Amino acid sequence: MIEVIGAGLAGSEAAYFLAEHGATVALVEMKPKKFTPAHTDERLCELVCSNSLKSDDVYGNACGLLKEEMRRLGSVTMAAAEMARVPAGGALAVDREKFSAYVTEKLRSHPNITVVSREQTELPARGIVATGPLTSDALSAAIAKRYGSALCFYDASAPIVLAESVDLSKTFVKDRYGRGTGDYLNCPLTREEYEKFVLALVAAERADLHEFEKGEIFEGCMPVEVMAARGMDTLRFGTFKPVGLTLEDGTRPYAVLQLRRENAAGTSLGLVGCQTNLKFGEQRRVFGMIPALAHAEFERYGVMHRNTFLRSPQILNADFSAKDAPMLFFAGQMTGVEGYVESAASGLLAGIHLWRKLNGQTPVVPSAATVMGALSRYIAAPNGDFQPMNANYGVLAGGFEGVRDKKERRRLIAARALEEIERFKGEILG
């Protein structure tokens, strides 16, 4: 029996692929006996926010391309996302509860999978460790004992408010540049309202501030108050930018906070780009300065927590196996891929590579022209300043530099990647 430790997106992908291809899997998950600071649901494959799966544009966005690569390899999380999809313009947003319920049912009902509820405290002799960026202290200690110190950065999530508590008279429905089906609720601010908000945000009291002054915050998860401290207009040119959003009279607000549905019913709304480490009372006070949120009821406050990841170039091969133990694999954000989709992709790949080894075959890493292959190589390439990496065009193999039109160049990159992923699929599955 093969052990897969952790039933987040990466562990779920790995376990499902192995089971679908005949392996007997023990999926070890410490919930519901023990929870991390970021998770509250007993179900497997839990998401923290609805729009975690980012763009669905296959031919214009690297993460959209990555999702299509995964679909072609039979990804269970991509199937779940399609079933649980909620409108979000060009993004793949999902109802978190439906998403987790779908994957949980697939895993618990699979004849080749046994879900074991316990905390793992040691590394398995063979299997896949996919315990995520909040790996328990005991297992983290076991990893550190074997491989030395792990790196760490800090991750933040945004508040969620009850939709019925938002003052709709001070909002307007529109997607940026009209791309979508009215999926975002916009909260406009005048210059005076915006500047008062920014000043209050910067001055607000933060939770455990001393821990987060270490400079280890990952740029992609920067708390909104840290961004605001960089300058009065930083948010207005970023998260709160009004570009592409106009009022009925054709004018453009000075700044705009967007709210996005967190479930299919639209009863919960997330504050887009407002990851925060403010104390809960401060979140109520400061975000309540936005006119539409003056009486908002918070269903979940933003939180910040430590994420750990390995010095993967020193520890892992491009097939996600440990250099000192060819039957021990790691997957998910702990390997240094950043993001839910990227984590799920690494789990799918780890499952594929382990399955091939179990059958006496040599692992085959996807082409560097694919996003999956590029990320695989990134986590294993020598790098003295290794940091987490999202799906992006920069990590993909070169080519098409002579094509000046960016849209056409990206279309060609995507077409090449999908050809390569089909070739990879044929090689591993026949």
Judgement on whether residues 300 and 190 belong to the same structural domain of the protein:
yes
Q: Please, are residues 351 and 13 in contact by the beta-carbon 8 Å criterion? A: yes
No. of H helices and E strands in the chain? 12, 16
Residue 339 in any domain: the answer is yes
Q: What is the CATH number of the domain that holds 347?
A: 3.50.50.60
Q: What is the pLDDT of residue 135?
A: 86
Total structural domains in the chain?
A: 2
pLDDT at 401: 82
C-alpha–C-alpha distance, residues 119 and 198, integer Å: 42
Report d(CA 139, CA 122) in Å as an integer.
6
What H or E segment, with its residue span, contains residue 26?
strand 25-29
Closest C-alpha to 51, from 371, 389, 341, 391: 341
What CA–CA distance (Å, rounded) separates 5 from 138? 13
Secondary structure (3-state) at 176: helix
Per-residue pLDDT of the chain (430 residues; tens, 9 = 90+): 999 999 999 999 999 999 999 999 999 998 876 666 656 667 899 987 656 688 899 999 999 999 999 999 999 999 999 999 988 888 898 999 999 999 999 999 999 999 999 999 999 999 999 998 778 889 989 999 999 877 676 667 889 999 999 999 999 999 888 777 788 999 999 999 999 999 999 999 988 644 444 455 666 678 999 999 999 999 999 999 999 998 888 899 999 999 998 877 788 899 999 999 999 999 999 999 999 999 999 988 888 777 778 999 999 999 999 999 999 999 999 999 988 999 999 999 999 999 999 999 999 999 999 999 999 999 999 988 788 888 988 888 888 888 889 899 999 999 999 999 999 999 998 7
User: What range defines the domain where residue 38 resides?
Assistant: 2-150+310-429
- Amino acid 10: pLDDT: 98
pLDDT for the residue 210: 42
Last residue of one domain, picked from the residues 277, 305, 333? 305
Question: Same structural domain for residues 132 and 34?
Answer: yes
| DSSP states along 80-93 | HHHHTEE--TTB-E
* Distance between CA atoms of residues 333 and 269, nearest Å: 26
- Report the amino acid identity of residue 301: Y
pLDDT confidence of residue 212: 41
Do 99 and 14 fall within a single domain?
yes
Residue 375 within any structural domain of the chain: yes
User: How many angstroms separate the CA atoms of 134 and 143, rounded?
Assistant: 13
Beta strands in 163-217 (DSSP E): 172-173, 184-189
Yes or no: say if 242 and 256 are a contact pair by the CB < 8 Å rule.
Answer: yes
Number of C-beta neighbours around residue 361 at 10 A: 11
Distance CA 413, CA 242 (A): 31
| Nearest C-alpha neighbor of 127 from the set 265, 24, 237 | 24
246 located within any domain: yes
The answer to the question of residue 28 being in a domain is yes
Does 299 lie in the same domain as 336?
Answer: no
Residue 155 in any domain: the answer is no
7 shares its domain with 117:
yes
Contact criterion met (CB below 8 Å) for 12 and 45: yes
pLDDT of residue 267: 84
Closest to 103 (Cα-Cα) out of 229, 7, 2? 7
Query: Given 285, 305, 325, which residue is the final one in a domain?
Result: 305
pLDDT for 208 equals 64
Residues 204 and 275 in one domain: yes
Residue 42 contacts residue 51 (beta carbons within 8 Å): no
Residue for token pair 């296959």: 58
Name the token pair of 94.
């999902």
Contact 307, 218 (CB under 8 A): yes
- Shared-domain flag, residues 166 and 115: no
Residue that the structure tokens 């992709």 belong to: 345
| Same structural domain, 295 and 410 | no
Please identify, among 286, 305, 324, the residue that sits at the C-terminal boundary of a domain: 305
Phi–psi pair at 287, nearest 5 degrees: -70, -25
Q: Which residues contact 327 (CB under 8 A, 6 or more apart)?
A: 125, 126, 127, 321, 354, 357
For residues 282 and 288, what is the distance between their CA atoms, to the nearest angstrom? 9
Contact of 13 with 348, CB cutoff 8 Å? yes
Question: Looking at the structure, do residues 125 and 167 belong to the same domain, yes or no?
Answer: no
Predicted pLDDT of residue 128: 98
> 127-129 and 325-330 as β-strands: parallel, antiparallel, unpaired?
parallel
Query: Do 264 and 166 sit in the same domain of this protein?
Result: yes
Q: According to DSSP H, which parts of 229-307 are helical?
A: 280-287
CA nearest 29: which of 104, 107, 131? 131
- DSSP label of 403: -
First-last CA distance in the chain: 24
Are 174 and 295 members of one domain? Answer: yes
Cα–Cα distance between 364 and 42 in angstroms, integer?
Answer: 35
Alpha carbon distance 112, 91 (integer Å):
34
Q: What is the CA radius of gyration of the chain?
A: 22
Q: Which residue has the tokens 């697939």?
A: 106
Report the DSSP beta bridge partners of residue 379. none
Instruction: Give yes or no: residues 9 and 137 share one domain.
Output: yes
